Amino acid sequence: MLDPHDIELPRRILVGRGVAGSVGDVACSIGLSGRVYVVLSSMGYKLAGDVVLSSLSANGFNVHDRRVEEAQEELSSVMEEAAKARPDFIVSVGGGSTIDLGKYTAFKLGIPFMSVPTAASHDGIASPMVSLKGLGKPCSVRAKPPIAIIADVNIIMSAPHRLLASGCGDIIAKLTAVRDWKLAHKIKNEYYGEYAASLAVMSAKLVMKHAKLIGAHREEGVRIVIEALVSCGVSMCIAGSSRPCSGAEHQFSHVLDMIAPRPALHGEQCGVGAIMMAYLHGMKWRRIRKALKLIGAPTTAKELGIEDEYIVRALVEAHKVRPRYTILGDTGLTWDAARHLAKVTGVIS
């Protein structure tokens, strides 16, 4: 008999031009009231701060806002300040780290959270998972999904294309993550949820199908990426874990975050990791590489800005990141095997 798990999903998802001004209306529509603590990155404030704060105030909310410069470093102070403010819910306006900061704070306080992303750089905008340095873990931890997501296409389109391409790398990496999940089910008898897995794979395939459109940074392509990221987040809600969206390619990225002097963006590293893990799985890895190139995402260590030795070391150490079975097995790759893998896929020269 399968163990039960709760499936918590966002109640409202609003995607479109100019929807940042609807944050207050959406909050009211889902029954939120009282005090709101708004966490904004510096860029989030510049792009959407006034309109979001005005929307909340106009709808009768008592607004307390906090602007953060380094979300990864301000976890403790934000949590302390939020606890003193005693909000009824939290809103985050910004990129991935700012979203995660608000999400985790809301989770610890036991209150709802609304996500207002200013970039489509990774699936944290809609998922129940959080990845912050202050949590003391190299990988993501479980929190709760946003109760609502407001994705303003105007704002997200104005972000650098690199951020959108990073989001695509994170999405395409679901192809290898799901293969790892299937493998763990076969080898370790781990729970495998076909519906959640299918949702993640569908998102990845749609992004690959529309790689040229996304690479041109056109609105239709941006919407596809936003919706795919939301879909990936929902797949994790259904699975009850990050399994459909995070496998060996993510563990490779987590190690790079720890050892590389200047890590690249999360999704960029996951995309490169997916190329190599697809090779190990016997998948059509060149298709993944081609799609990433069309989108404008990195496919090599040089394009990531990371030296070859760190790529190889990350491959060797990736299996140690968490007790999660992947194509890397229980013992991982040797140095020679890792170097060969990176070379044969063109990641290193």
pLDDT tens profile 153-196:
999 999 999 999 999 999 999 999 999 999 999 999 999 999 99
| Residues contacting 64, CB < 8 A, separation 6+ | 35, 36, 37, 38, 85, 87
Q: Residue 173's pLDDT is what?
A: 98
Answer whether residue 136 shows pLDDT above 90.
Answer: no
Q: What is the CATH number of the domain that holds 25?
A: 3.40.50.1970
Give the tens place of pLDDT for each residue, 242-260. 999 999 999 999 999 999 9
Record the tokens describing residue 330, joined without a space. 């229980």
Same domain, 197 and 62: no
Whether residue 331 lies inside any domain: the answer is: yes
Sign for the CA dihedral angle at 342, 344, 345, 349 comes to positive
For residue 137, being part of any structural domain is answered with: yes
- Examine the domain organization and report whether 124 and 186 are in the same domain: no
133 within domain boundaries: yes
Number of domains in the chain: 2
**Mean pLDDT computed over every residue of the chain:** 95
From 159, 194, 221, the end of a domain falls on 159
* Residue 134 pLDDT exceeds 90: no
Give dist(CA 64, CA 52) in Å, integer: 12
pLDDT score for 318: 98
Residue type present at position 186: K
Q: Which of 109, 128, 159 is the last residue of a domain?
A: 159
What CA–CA distance (Å, rounded) separates 113 from 101? 11
Average pLDDT for 106-135: 90
Same domain, 172 and 131: no
Lookup result for tokens 């989001």 = 167
129 and 171 belong to one structural domain: no
Q: Are residues 133 and 23 in the same domain?
A: yes
pLDDT value of residue 1: 54
Same-domain check for residues 152 and 224: no
Question: Quick one: which of 159, 179, 64, 77 has its CA closest to 118?
Answer: 159
Residue 2: inside a domain, yes or no?
Answer: no
Q: What is the DSSP string of 123-167?
A: GGGTSSEE--GGGS-SS-EE----SEEEEEHHHHHHS-HHHHHHH
**What amino acid is encoded at 95 in this protein?**
G
Residues 6+ apart with CB under 8 A from 343: 349
Task: Tell me the CA distances in angstroms from 282 to 121, 275, 288, one per residue in order.
Answer: 28, 11, 12
Q: What is the pLDDT of residue 165?
A: 98
6 found inside a domain: no
Half-sphere exposure of 314 (CA within 13 A, CB side): 32
Q: Which of 309, 257, 306, 297 is nearest to 139 (CA)?
A: 257
Confidence of residue 72 (pLDDT cuts 50, 70, 90): confident
312 part of a folded domain:
yes
124 in the same domain as 250: no
**pLDDT value at 320 more than 60:** yes
Question: Do 259 and 155 meet the contact criterion of CB atoms below 8 Å apart?
Answer: no
Residue 226 has a pLDDT of 97
Last residue of a domain, one of 124, 141, 159: 159
Sheet with 12-16, strands from edge to edge, namely: 12-16, 148-152, 113-117, 89-94, 35-41, 62-68
- Reply yes or no on whether the pLDDT at 211 is more than 90: yes
Model's pTM, two decimal places? 0.95
pLDDT band at 139 (very low <50, low <70, confident <90, very high): low
Sign of CA dihedral 306, 309, 313, 318: positive
How large is the average pLDDT for residues 274-294? Answer: 98
Structural domain includes residue 60? yes
CATH of the domain at 306: 1.20.1090.10
Do residues 297 and 219 lie in contact, with contact meaning Cβ atoms separated by under 8 Å?
A: no
Which pLDDT score is estimated for 5?
A: 74
**270 and 226 housed in the same domain:** yes
Give the residue numbers spanning the domain of 216: 162-344
Residue 4 in domain: no
Confidence of residue 111 (pLDDT cuts 50, 70, 90): very high
* Predicted confidence band of residue 140 (pLDDT cuts 50, 70, 90): confident
Q: Nearest to residue 159, comparing CAs of 125, 204, 121?
A: 121
Same domain for 223 and 166: yes
Instruction: Find the mean pLDDT for residues 81-102.
Output: 95
- The per-type count for the chain, helices as H runs and strands as E runs, is 17, 8
Q: Could you read off the pLDDT of 34-56 as tens digits, one per residue?
A: 999 999 999 999 999 999 999 99
Q: Do 113 and 174 fall within a single domain?
A: no
Please give the backbone phi and psi of residue 271, each rounded to the nearest 5 degrees, phi first: -60, -45
